């Protein structure tokens, strides 16, 4: 089909505008064609069409559950969950929240077949009744179809300015554990809530800045000004003995200038929240752009912890050489002592989103990478960000590295499910630099990380 336009006389400024329109159309055409030209069977699906994906987790039926926030109109966002089956077909899409801002940072599948989704909200909780619009932690329990069973906020204290939830766990003892951060007078503190399965609050543990300095040795110098200290609890997992491992980020120290340099930590706790050990990894501080990316409670710091036979594996990303973001893998013993550390710059700049343990003892690192610099807070603003898979052995050595995607696209691989024939189904999404919203999809790769095209 040929489209003919009438003759129009344009002034000089009009020619400039037309040129910009043509450049825009060409770039959009490349973006859409790059997916269409690939012979891979990519299954695309939408939820609310104005969704921002924050996470993807695998489910016991071989499928995936996506979540984040979606636009609801004037100054409003709702949290959302979207469930797809093991073929990548959408099963259901639900939104959650009130008339203000609600979003999810993480979800877990629970033993009753439902889901526990966590994040933050100012539709309920403290920010509602004191008119500050401050965010409160937001916890929603659903059944298998995503219908709400109960929804709670646990930040109702006038002593807490703001809170957000980042990580969740269902323990062998039948409790839900929630971790995140709350803010008091500009200081971000780690918290852990323990809940019964009906949402009843049983206890919480708060770890303020002075905890670290009164319980640790070999630490950097510090002052007595608490408002220069920040810490997040991000990832929770359970050991065979029922104790907990908590991974997250904390300030290098609370000296001004060092408080914005974050290091990874691993905390070991009894099931009642009492700490056993605390290990910050001071040799790998993040610099300024990491601070700007995650000082906002709407963004989840990427720290993933896996319990292994003789210790823990921590996957994250840091600034590597020359300020380039690089995927990092830390191996510790059960006391948190560092055994080895590996970095994976991939194309030069890389983000870690998830880690998958394989039956053969290898691990799959899942993320994104680019050959051009990008702002870690807003990677969707950049024209090239490729799905990235790295297979590593038990010692952290890369067996292979694959990047999947094309120029002029922005892709984020988030989670994988193993395929019966070997390889994985990858759950991912593509961000549009024009609209700012995300398009979700799944694809299959073989045991070498290559796209399965037939």
Distance CA 212, CA 234 (A): 17
Sketch the domain layout of the chain as residue ranges: 44-445
Select from 228, 266, 224 the least CA-distant residue to 249.
266
Which residue intervals of 150-217 are DSSP H helices? 209-215
Both tokens of residue 38?
A: 């690939």
Walking along the chain (454 residues) 10 residues at a time, the average pLDDT comes out as 34 38 33 36 85 94 96 82 94 92 94 96 67 80 98 71 90 94 79 93 72 48 51 93 93 75 90 86 76 47 90 89 83 95 91 94 94 61 81 97 84 94 94 79 96 84
pLDDT at position 251 is 83
Cα separation values, 206 from 181, 183, 322, Å: 9, 11, 36
Largest CA distance in the chain: 78
Q: Which CATH architecture has domain 44-445?
A: 7 Propeller (2.130)
The dihedral through the CA atoms of 414, 420, 423, 429 has a sign that is: negative
What pLDDT is stored for residue 450 in this prediction? Answer: 95
SS3 220: coil
The SS3 call for residue 288 is: helix
pLDDT of residue 294: 44
pTM for this prediction: 0.85
d(CA 97, CA 110): 21
pLDDT of the residue at 293: 45
Q: What is the pLDDT of residue 5?
A: 30
Distance, in Å, from the CA atom of 161 to the CA atom of 293, rounded to the nearest integer, reads 20
Question: Which residues in 62-101 belong to E strands, given as ranges?
Answer: 64-73, 76-84, 90-96
Rounded CA-CA distance 173/169 in Å is 11
Is 56 in contact with 65 (CB distance < 8 Å)? yes
Give the pLDDT score at 189: 83
- Output helix, strand, coil percentages for the chain, rounded to the nearest 5: 10, 45, 40
Q: Which pLDDT score is estimated for 260?
A: 74
How do 411-418 and 338-344 pair as beta strands? unpaired
């Amino acid at each position: 089909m040929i489209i003919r336009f009438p003759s129009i006389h344009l002034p000089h400024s009009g020619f400039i505008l037309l040129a910009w329109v043509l450049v825009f159309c060409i770039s959009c055409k490349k973006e859409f064609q790059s997916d269409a030209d690939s012979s891979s069977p990519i299954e695309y699906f939408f939820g609310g069409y104005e969704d921002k994906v924050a996470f993807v987790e695998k489910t016991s039926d071989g499928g995936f559950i996506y979540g984040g926030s979606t636009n609801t109109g004037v100054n409003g966002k709702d949290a959302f969950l979207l469930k797809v089956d093991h073929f990548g077909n959408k099963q259901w899409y639900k939104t959650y929240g009130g008339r203000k801002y609600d979003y999810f940072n993480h979800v877990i599948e629970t033993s009753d077949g439902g889901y526990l989704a966590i994040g933050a909200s100012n539709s309920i909780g403290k920010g509602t009744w004191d008119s500050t619009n401050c965010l409160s932690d937001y916890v929603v329990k659903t059944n298998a179809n995503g219908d709400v069973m109960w929804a709670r906020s646990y930040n109702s204290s006038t002593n807490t300015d703001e809170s957000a939830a980042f990580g969740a766990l269902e323990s062998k003892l039948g409790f839900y554990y929630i971790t995140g951060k709350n803010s008091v007078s500009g200081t971000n503190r780690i918290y852990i809530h323990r809940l019964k399965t009906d949402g009843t609050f049983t206890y919480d543990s708060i770890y303020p800045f002075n905890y670290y300095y009164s319980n640790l040795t070999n630490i950097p110098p510090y002052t007595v000004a608490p408002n220069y200290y920040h810490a997040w609890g991000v990832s929770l997992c359970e050991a065979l003995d029922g104790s907990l491992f908590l991974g997250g980020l904390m300030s290098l120290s609370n000296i001004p200038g060092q408080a914005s340099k974050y290091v990874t930590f691993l905390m070991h706790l009894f099931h009642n929240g009492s700490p056993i050990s605390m290990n910050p990894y001071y040799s790998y501080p993040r610099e300024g752009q990491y601070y700007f990316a995650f000082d906002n409670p709407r963004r989840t710091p990427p720290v993933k912890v896996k319990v292994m036979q003789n210790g823990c594996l921590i996957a994250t990303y840091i600034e590597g050489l020359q300020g380039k973001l690089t995927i990092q893998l830390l191996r510790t013993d059960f006391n948190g002592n560092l055994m080895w550390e590996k970095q994976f710059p991939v194309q030069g700049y890389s983000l870690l989103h998830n880690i998958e343990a394989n039956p053969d003892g290898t691990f799959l690192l899942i993320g994104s990478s680019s050959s051009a610099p990008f702002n870690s807070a807003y990677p969707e603003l950049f024209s090239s960000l490729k799905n990235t898979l790295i297979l590593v052995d038990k010692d952290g050595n890369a067996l292979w590295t694959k990047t999947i995607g094309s120029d002029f696209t922005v892709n984020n691989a988030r989670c994988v499910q193993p395929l019966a024939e070997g390889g994985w189904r990858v759950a991912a999404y593509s961000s549009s630099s024009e609209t700012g919203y995300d398009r979700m999809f799944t694809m299959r790769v073989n045991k070498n990380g290559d796209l399965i095209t037939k």
